[in-house]
Amino acid sequence: MKKMLVILLVMGLVFCLASMSILAEQADYTGKIGISLPTATHGYLGRVNWWVQKAVKDWEEKCPALEFLVLTADNVTKQAADIEDLMIKEIDSLIVFPFDASLTSIIEVAYKKGIYTVVISRGTTKPVYNVYISNDDEGYTREGTEWIAKELDYKGKMVIIEGIPCPINTTRIDTIKATAAKYPGLEILDSQPGDWNQQKSLTVMENYLQKYPQIDAVYTADDDMMKGALQAYKESGRSDIKIFLGGGASQEMLKRIIDGDKLVRANVTFPPDVMATAISLGVLGYNKQAFEGFYQKALPIRIILAAELITAENVDSYYNPDEMKEIK
């Protein structure tokens, strides 16, 4: 009996030491992490900000030695100044969700200073980063266009509302046009910028409705712009449009799919939790850590997230209404 008790005590001690080792390893993560992103002026960026708060909270609980500085900007000039300010505060890692690629020069300054740099989504004009993480923008709009074509039985008239002119917008629009061109019966009537803005997209859609007597599908590749387009269509009193397809999988649009909305029947993922992943990459990269089970000694320089089509068949797997709740 005593022998068994000793064995159990030893096993318990080993388990405690192992647990302490894991915790110590986590607590060993250090660094001042600077985070720069646009102000949450619309739904998608609101969700991005939610994930920033979650990631910071999770990391602070695991590794109290980490310090996070989060700055948001409502224009490119302010964001450039924010990045300069973060460098003055001697950050070790920089996480940037840029307004657009015009921020390349200031990001390059940080990168050349040896700051571990992670760039998200809208990109830079050259590889001035340790890691670039984004969505599969070709797959994102290819999946959407193929779904629209199939739903229209490969014939119909479609309008596009674009985002802000930038590399990813160019990739998306070029992919939509190239995919639609495979189907002679599918005609793109027009493509105008909505700047990822609901109000501007409403105005663009009003113009489309005045200009084109028949529209079968509206593709915005962004849920905020789709909200504006839907509002304009509802106020017009017309009933010819069969499909509105956005993107980004906002909870509001996923709920429409769940509820059986006849106009909004699908979406494509562009997960806002990419921001939380980018923050983790900044922590791991600065601390010279790679992924568990990843045999290379450094993180990959480019990470492209899968674009997944969401329909009534799988929408429950993506619906997460908590995403929009504020962390107090």
Beta bridge partners of 118: 95, 131
Please say whether the beta carbons of 221 and 137 come within 8 A.
Answer: no
Strands 217-219 and 243-245: parallel
The two tokens of residue 169 are 């917008």
The Cα–Cα gap between 114 and 92 comes to 8
Per-residue pLDDT, 236:
97
Residues in the chain predicted with pLDDT less than 50, given as ranges, are 1-25, 326-328
DSSP conformation letters of 13-65 = HHHHHHHHHHHHHHHT--EEEEEEEE---SHHHHHHHHHHHHHHHHHHHH-TT
Q: In Å, what is the CA distance from 274 to each residue of 26, 49, 89, 269, 295?
A: 22, 11, 25, 11, 23
Burial label for 326, CB within 10 Å (0-12, 13-18, 19+), is: exposed
Per-residue pLDDT, 229:
98
Per-residue pLDDT, 1:
43
Per-residue pLDDT, 325:
57
Per-residue pLDDT, 15:
40
Around Cβ 259, how many Cβ atoms within 10 Å?
9
| Cα angle for residues 70, 226, 199 (degrees, 5° grid) | 70
Per-residue pLDDT, 3:
39
Q: In Å, what is the CA distance from 97 to each residue of 87, 117, 138?
A: 16, 11, 19
Per-residue pLDDT, 270:
86
Around Cβ 318, how many Cβ atoms within 10 Å?
15
Q: Which helix (H) or strand (E) holds 232?
A: helix 223-236
Beta bridge partners of 95: 35, 118
SS3 state at 2: helix
The Cα–Cα gap between 199 and 178 comes to 28
Beta bridge partners of 268: 309
Per-residue pLDDT, 181:
97
Residue 250 is classified by DSSP as: -
Per-residue pLDDT, 44:
80
Per-residue pLDDT, 65:
94
Please say whether the beta carbons of 200 and 170 come within 8 A.
Answer: no
Please say whether the beta carbons of 191 and 162 come within 8 A.
Answer: yes
Per-residue pLDDT, 41:
67
